[in-house]
Amino acid sequence: MSDKTKNKPLPSFIEERLNFYIQDLITQNQSQKHLVLGKRPQRNSVVMQSNDYLALSHNKQIQQAHQAAICEHDDNVVMSAIFLQDDQSKPAFETELANYVGMESCLLSQSGWAANIGLLQTICPPGTPVYIDFLAHMSLWEGIRAAGAVAHPFMHNNMNHLRKQLERHGSGVIVVDSVYSTIGTIAPLRDIYEMAQEFDCAVVVDESHSLGTHGENGAGLVQALGLTNQVDFITVSLAKTFAYRAGAILGPKQLSRTLPFVAYPAIFSSTVLPQEVVRLEKTLEVIKGAEDKREALFN
């Protein structure tokens, strides 16, 4: 390494931390790789590692719509979405997605991660009790931390433990995934709703792994269970069935009027671009008619 490319020495505590991770996660393994790095799948393999549940990432209709939109759109919207909350700037896709899921309003975000953090930061005053399933997505845990709320975890899908936590700490917010991606279990959403009613709690459901795959036309597990009017907020990553990089927050109209001006991920990140919205619109159209793909997925 030449003197020009050699970095200055790191502070010792950072050097020690990075070296610890290298030893703990990589060098002790026989392959000298992290344990998640295995063989690459061959061309005809069935890939169960991907989040592209309906195999839409190479869909020609979607690709063509995206390509055309890149050529046609000349709007300069490379800015925070905080400046784009007037009626003329709001993408019609937000209304389409809200109608599809059955919620009053929708806000696009940069990712499912940003959706969960932005939502909890907006709806939770500091100190709010948040009841979170042990296996809920890490973004929900980070959202609790960002809000200055207090996490009260309950054992996975264990309603008796949730009840004990609610009796101990009182009214707050219950946050769950509808489908837990790591083990494939489904949240007992009806029981959760009934408990939320009893203890005056809001319910947040992350539908990242069920939107597009469950329910009528893929409208999600909450819709499939007939609970749309009982769930207060739904968040989704559009990097799963939608096979793209974005997220969304769905809830009452008051949320879409306030979150863009309150949530840090919404304020301090650039907005989803118009050509990306066109791709998502075409993807939603394909998903609605993809009953054969949903059947193949479950088979």
**154 lies in the same domain as 222:** yes
pLDDT digits (tens, 9 = 90+) for 143-160: 999 999 999 999 999 999
Closest by CA to 144, choosing from 156, 152, 155, is 152
Is residue 48 in some structural domain? no
**HEC readout, the chain:** CCCCCCCCCCCHHHHHHHHHHHHHHHHCCCCCCCCCCCCCCCCCCCCCCCCCCCCCCCCHHHHHHHHHHHHHCCCCCCCEHHHCCCCCCCCHHHHHHHHHHCCCEEEEECCHHHHHHHHHHHHCCCCCEEEEECCCCHHHHHHHHHHCCEEEEECCCCHHHHHHHHHHHCCCEEEEECECCCCCCECCHHHHHHHHHHHCCEEEEECCCCCCCCCHHHCCHHHHCCCCCCCCEEEEECCCCCCCCCEEEEECHHHHHHHHHCCHHHHCCECCCHHHHHHHHHHHHHHHCCHHHHHHHHC
Identify whether 46 is part of a domain.
Answer: no
Q: Could you tell me which of 106, 95, 101, 94 has the C-alpha nearest to residue 223?
A: 101
Asked if 262 and 82 count as a contact pair (C-beta separation under 8 A), the reply is: no
Asked if residue 193 lies in contact with residue 203, where contact means CB atoms within 8 angstroms, the answer is yes
Would 234 be classed as within a structural domain? yes
Q: Within this chain, do residues 73 and 149 fall inside the same structural domain, yes or no?
A: yes
When the pLDDT of each residue in the chain is averaged and rounded to a whole number, the result is 94
If asked whether residues 87 and 175 sit together in one domain, one would say: yes
Q: Is the pLDDT of residue 134 over 80?
A: yes
Provide mean pLDDT across the span 271-280.
Answer: 94
pLDDT-based confidence at residue 46 (cuts at 50, 70, 90): confident
Query: Looking at residues 160-171, what average pLDDT do you find?
Result: 98
Structure tokens at 277: 């919205």
Helices 159-169 & 189-199 angle (0-180, nearest 10):
20
In residues, how long is the chain? 299
CB 177 within 8 A of CB 136: yes
Q: What pLDDT score was predicted for residue 76?
A: 78
Q: What is the mean predicted confidence (pLDDT) over 215-235?
A: 96
Q: Is residue 47 part of a domain?
A: no
- Statement to judge: residues 93 and 238 lie in one domain: yes
Do residue 240 and residue 290 come from a single domain?
A: yes
Beta bridge partners of 233: 204
For the segment 69-93, the average pLDDT, to the nearest whole number, is: 87
Residue 34 has φ and ψ, to the nearest 5°, of -65, 150
Domain of 241, CATH number, reads 3.40.640.10
The pLDDT assigned to 59 comes to 96
Of 165, 110, 120, give the one whose Cα is nearest residue 146.
120
- Please check whether residues 65 and 124 belong to one and the same domain: yes
Tell whether the model's pLDDT for residue 2 goes beyond 80.
no
Residue 132: inside a domain: yes
Residue numbers of the domain that contains 85: 60-298
pLDDT, mean of residues 232-237: 98
Same domain, yes or no, for 228 and 89?
Answer: yes
pLDDT at 74: 76
Does the pLDDT value for residue 186 go beyond 60?
A: yes
Q: Is residue 113 very low, low, confident or very high in pLDDT (cuts 50, 70, 90)?
A: very high
Q: Are 185 and 156 in contact (CB under 8 A)?
A: yes
Note whether 95 and 146 are same-domain residues.
yes
Q: Domain for residue 215, yes or no?
A: yes
Is residue 5 in a domain?
Answer: no
Q: Does residue 51 fall inside a structural domain?
A: no
Residues 85 and 127 in one domain: yes
Instruction: Quote the number of domains for the chain.
Output: 2
Note whether 130 and 21 are same-domain residues: no
Q: How far apart are CA 102 and CA 81, in angstroms?
A: 24
Rounded Cα distance between 193 and 298, Å, is 26
Q: How far apart are CA 232 and CA 124, in angstroms?
A: 13
**Do residues 27 and 115 share a domain?**
no
Residues 237 and 285 in one domain: yes
Is residue 235 a contact partner of residue 263, using CB atoms and an 8 Å limit? no
